[in-house]
C-alpha cells in the first residue's frame, strides 16, 4: 500500500501514520524526519539542506524530492509506504507523481483527515501548553491553517481528479479514527 496522508496541522497525521505503519506493515516516511536525518548524517543532500537552513531559507523542493527518492530506493519500501504531510502544494504533488511514476510506485490512495477548524485550534493550543511550542498560539495556528488551506486545497483536488482521494472524519479516539481510515483504504482497494 502506497499512501499519502493529508491533513491540517493538528489533524492527527503523525499519530495515525504511526498506527498505520503498524497496521499495514509499511514504513512511515516524514519529510521533516528525512531532512533532520540527512543533515545529522552529513549526506550530500543533508549538507545542501543545512546550508540553506543556516541562511534562514526554506529547503527547496528539489532537495526534499532528492531525499525522498533516496528513501524510496531502500528495500523496506518494497511493499509500500506512508507519506506523512507531503506533498504540501501542487508543485510538490506533480513532482512526487512524476518521481513515483519513474520508480513504478504510484500512490494507491491519498487519505485526508478531516477535522474542523475550531477543534484544530483547540488541539494545537493544548499541544502548545503541553510542549511549550510558540508556533501553536491561537493566532499563529489560524495563520498556519489559512496557509494549509490555500496551499493544500489544490493537492486535495489533484488526488480527487486521479480518483485516489478518500476523506476520513478525523474526530474521535485514535482507535476510532484508525478504524475509519483502514475501512476507507480497504473500500478504496476493493474498487481498484
Catalytic-labelled residue, pool 21, 88, 142, 160 = 88
Q: Which residue has the cell 520508480?
A: 103
Task: Tell me the H-state helices in 31-164.
Answer: 31-41, 44-54, 61-72, 90-102, 117-131, 138-161
13 as an active site residue: the answer is yes
Cis peptide before 87 (omega within 30 of 0): yes
**Distance between CA atoms of residues 121 and 142, nearest Å:** 7
Catalytic residue among 21, 50, 142, 144: 144
b/e sequence 84-123, b meaning 16+ C-beta within 10 Å:
bbbbbbeebbebbbeebeeeeeebebbbbbebeeeebbeb
Q: Is 180 a catalytic residue?
A: no
With beta carbons less than 8 A apart as the criterion, state whether 82 and 14 touch. Answer: no
Q: Annotated catalytic residue: which of 13, 123, 164, 180?
A: 13
Active site residue 2: no
Task: Respond yes or no: is residue 36 known to be catalytic.
Answer: no
Residues paired with 114 in a beta bridge? 169
Whether 133 is catalytic: yes
Phi, psi of 101 (to 5 degrees): -65, -45
Residues with catalytic roles: 13, 88, 127, 133, 144
Amino acid at each position: 500500500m502506497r499512501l499519502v496522508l493529508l491533513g491540517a496541522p493538528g489533524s492527527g497525521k503523525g499519530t495515525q501514520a504511526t498506527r498505520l505503519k503498524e497496521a499495514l506493515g509499511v514504513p512511515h516516511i516524514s519529510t521533516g524526519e528525512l531532512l533532520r536525518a540527512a543533515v545529522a548524517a552529513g549526506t550530500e543532500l543533508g549538507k545542501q539542506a543545512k546550508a540553506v537552513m543556516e541562511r534562514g531559507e526554506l529547503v527547496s523542493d528539489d532537495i526534499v524530492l532528492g531525499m525522498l527518492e533516496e528513501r524510496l530506493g531502500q528495500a523496506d519500501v518494497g511493499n509500500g509506504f506512508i507519506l506523512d504531510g507531503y506533498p504540501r502544494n501542487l508543485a510538490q504533488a506533480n513532482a512526487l507523481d512524476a518521481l513515483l511514476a519513474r520508480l513504478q510506485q504510484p500512490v494507491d490512495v491519498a487519505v485526508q483527515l478531516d477535522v474542523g477548524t475550531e477543534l484544530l485550534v483547540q488541539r494545537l493550543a493544548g499541544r502548545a501548553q503541553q510542549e511549550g511550542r510558540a508556533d501553536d498560539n491561537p493566532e499563529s495556528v489560524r495563520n498556519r491553517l489559512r496557509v494549509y488551506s490555500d496551499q493544500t486545497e489544490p493537492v486535495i483536488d489533484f488526488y480527487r481528479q486521479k480518483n485516489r482521494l478518500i476523506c476520513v472524519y478525523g474526530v474521535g479516539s485514535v482507535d476510532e479514527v484508525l478504524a475509519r481510515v483502514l475501512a476507507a483504504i480497504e473500500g478504496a482497494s476493493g474498487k481498484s
